Structure 1
Amino acid sequence: MKLFFLKYIINVDKQTIVESSEEMATLKDVAKLACVDVSTVSRALNNSAYVHPETKARILEAVKELSYQPNILAKGLRQGKRNTIGVLVPHLHMTIFAEVTQGIEEMATKEGFATLLCHTEDSASLEKECLNRLRNGFVDGVIIAATGHNKKLVRDIQASGLPVMQVIRKVDADISSVTVDYETSTQEAVAYFANKGCSHIGLINGSMSLAPYAERYKGYKKELKSRNLKETTAGFDQPVNTMAYGYDCTKALLQQNPELDAIVAAVDTQGIGALRALKEAGKRVPEDIKLMSLTGQEVGAMLETSMTAMEIPAKEIGAKAAQLLIEEIQNPHNYPVGAKHLIYNSILVEREST
């Protein structure tokens, strides 16, 4: 794991900032060019006190000419804040977490915060290492899509005064979260196929230790039971957000149930792998087998056979998680006591695969 601190090396004990070797303009340089003292420049840039309009215009012109960039990190340390959020996600490549992270970063930037991103690869040990680095580093709060194996550590971090927000995955009811109603979306997917006449509906899922997969399976079983249908599921002990996983699971589903007429895949990458496996098996989509993803992304709409999906507002979820966390960081005493949970709904988007 690598954490990049941009242009700054931080000495916490001495509360000093050593800037990079690249020459950078300082407040003194701006003051000298504008023919004012440093305190006037500071007041003008922070809007903390009245500065004559002509003087302020002269200062801003000097800032522009010198390409002055204020040292936000040093300012944050003086104020006891870092203006930085730590973000822990399993991975980004072709997953919903890429869009969630984009939403987080856009909201953070809007609110004057930076982000430090950690990839955990769904490893409990790597997640633990990331959490410890962040809690001892320079962040004001943490947004996490957790594995569920470090609950005590996450609670300890929150108890220490560092706000924590769960995103996509809610593994601890005592910590605020922004997630999706996975159970209902899977029920709706199964009902959609059943209403189209499908009676052998398979599910490609993931680890039941992760909340989204456990909730999807619950919704899948509930809807099948209500319609007196039998389940056909597949899952292996390997990375689940890959096309290879979807490919292998689809082959397993076809072996289990040769009469399979519909497949519900947990994520788009699994669905892409499923399309390949079905083609190799001589199964036409959607004539022989219909296919749907429960976590629709932009890529699904661009496939040769575009994929029907339960679309998740991923960017909106990320932005909301960041907004709520920043509100708690900025107003710790005014923030509601107790965990706050927001749950988004998925929206069915029909395409060629069904």
Structure 2
Amino acid sequence: MATLKDVARMANVDVSTVSRAINNTSYVHPDTKARILASVKELGYQPNVIAQSLRQGKRHTIGVVVPRLHMTVFAEIMQGIEEEARRLGYATLICNTEDDSKTERECLTRLRNGFVDGIIIAGTGHNGRLLRDIRSSGLTITQILRQQDTTLSSVIVNYENCGYEATKYLESRGCREIGLINGTMKIAPYQERYNGYHRALKELGLSETSAISSSPVNSLEYGYQCALDLLEQNPNLDAIMAAVDVQGIGAMRALKEQGIKVPEQIRLISLTGHIIGGMLETTMTSMEMPAHEMGLKAALMTIRDIESPTEPKTPPQHLVFTSSLVERESS
């Protein structure tokens, strides 16, 4: 493997001149620089990115910690993050946790001890102290979708309004027995969606039917089991709100197996819309969030903080998006 010295020898210059030419740290005569770059190409020289990063104090890499990418809104968010990071000269490292706090802690520790300048996380809420410690050590932290700690920057959606508006919408369609497939209240969006749902029911004088399963929350199995639980709790159910699309798909399967038609007998709506909802055999009504734009903003916010010359870093920023109702066949 070619070294910096090999390039210098071929170009007939000092090693320091090669370094300046490659890194653009100071002026090198155009003819000399052209000769150096020609030697780099001929020898196939590859700079030591890790050593270079350590010298510069920047790795130009962001770690992204999410529960799951497959069939979730996090896939669209991740595309936005990667697109903006690449535009700004940063790479991304992705960790999937399946919402397991131990796995999350291991991911955060590896990222902290590895080569990242900042972390974007959709957290479980169980590693707040570790996140604050990482932030105090100088790494940038941005929460995406889940604001578990107000001392850390975040890019989120108004989930309470989402749950509230979806419930009011279903009531306007004639529904009186509205069930909610939710997740653990320890994760902020699930608590906030429930708050909106509960507030709307109270205003409308309706009773609550909600379900939480032990399966991984971002899964078909979770939605399937919760739908069966809702039906067992309330045989008169006429609407189901699923926290995320993948749960809604699982719920739709459970309803079909029970011989219940959507939307004739039970209307179905997802509170976190994903592109897949519009491609189903019975397309799914959803509260759509601008996931790609949220990813772009999270990456931009993170990199701006990384590159901020101020110490200590800028105060936490909180960007809140709104969801919009997209009516489809399931309601």
Q: What TM-score, normalized to structure 1?
A: 0.86
State the partner residue of 1:223.
200
Which residue pairs with 1:10 in the alignment? none
Q: Distance in 1 between matches of 2:81 and 2:18?
A: 32
Hey, what does 1:171 align to over in structure 2?
148
Check 1:346–1:303 CA distance in 2 against 1; reply closer, same or farther (3 A cut). same
Report deviation, 1:110: 2.0
**CA shift for structure 1 position 343:** 0.9
Q: Does 2:301 align with 1:319?
A: no
Deviations 1:73-130 (Å, cap 9, x if unpaired)? 2211112222222222222222222222222222222222222222222222222222
> What amino acid maps onto 1:322 in structure 2?
A
Asked if 1:192 corresponds to 2:165, the answer is no
- 1:8-61 deviation per Cα after TM superposition (whole angstroms, max 9, x unaligned): xxxxxxxxxxxxxxx4x4444444555544444433333333344444444444
How far does the alpha carbon of each residue in 1:277-318 deviate from its partner, in whole angstroms, 9 at most, with x for none? 111121111122111111111211111111111112222222
Aligned pair partner of 2:256 in 251, 259, 279? 279
Name which of structure 1's ranges 39-48 and 236-245 shifts more when overlaid on structure 2.
39-48
| Residues 55 and 347 of structure 1, relative CA distance in 2, 3 Å threshold | farther
Partner Cα distance (2:312, 2:72) in 1: 32
- Over aligned residue pairs, what C-alpha RMSD do you find? 2.1
Distance in 2 between residues matched to 1:177 and 1:332, nearest whole Å: 21
Contact 1:327 1:335 in 2 (8 A): no
- Find the partner of 1:213 among 190, 194, 210: 190
Farther-moved stretch of structure 1 (341-350 vs 207-216): 341-350
1:217 to partner: Cα distance:
0.2
Q: Answer whether contact 2:215 2:221 (CA < 8 A) is retained.
A: no
Question: 1:121 aligned to 98, 119, 123, which one?
Answer: 98
- Distance of 1:36 and 1:342 partners within structure 2: 51
Say which SS state the counterpart of residue 185 (structure 1) adopts.
helix
Give the corresponding residue for 2:87.
110
Q: Secondary structure at the match of 2:237?
A: coil
Helix, strand or coil for the counterpart of 2:325? strand
**8 Å contact kept, 2:270–2:287:** yes
Question: How many angstroms apart in 1 are the aligned matches of 2:136 and 2:17?
Answer: 40
Structure 1 position 84 matched with structure 2 position 55: no
Separation of aligned partners in 2, 1:317 and 1:273: 26
Name 1:74's counterpart in structure 2. 51
SS of equivalent to 2:98: coil
Matched AA of 1:114: A
1:88-167 aligned at under 5 Å gives the runs 88-167=65-144
- Point out the more displaced range, 28-37 or 294-303: 28-37
- In structure 1, runs of 5+ residues without a counterpart are 1-22
Name the SS of the counterpart of 2:195 in structure 1. helix
Contact 1:328–1:335, Cα closer than 8 Å, also in 2: no
Letter of the 2:94 partner, please give it.
L
SS in 2 for 1:75: helix
Distance 1:184 1:105 in 2: 29
Tell me by how many angstroms 1:163 deviates: 1.8
Contact map agreement 1:182 1:219 (CA 8 A) in 2: yes
**Other structure's SS at 1:118 match:** strand
Alignment correspondent of 1:292? 269
Contact 2:238 2:266 in 1 (8 A): yes
Q: What's the offset of the Cα at 1:261?
A: 1.6
Please tell me whether the aligned partners of residues 163 and 196 of structure 2 are also in contact (alpha carbons under 8 angstroms): yes
- Using the TM superposition, name which of 47-56 and 81-90 deviates more: 47-56
Normalising by structure 2, report the TM-score: 0.92
CA deviation vs aligned residue, 1:314-346 (integer Å, no higher than 9, x gap): 222222212111111111517764321111111
Read off the aligned partner of 1:237 and give its amino acid letter.
S
The number of residues matched between the two structures is 331
Deviation (angstroms), 1:270: 0.6
2:244 to 267, 270, 279: 267
CA contact (8 A) 2:278 2:328 kept: yes
Q: 1:249 aligns with which of 219, 226, 247?
A: 226
Identity of aligned residues (%): 61
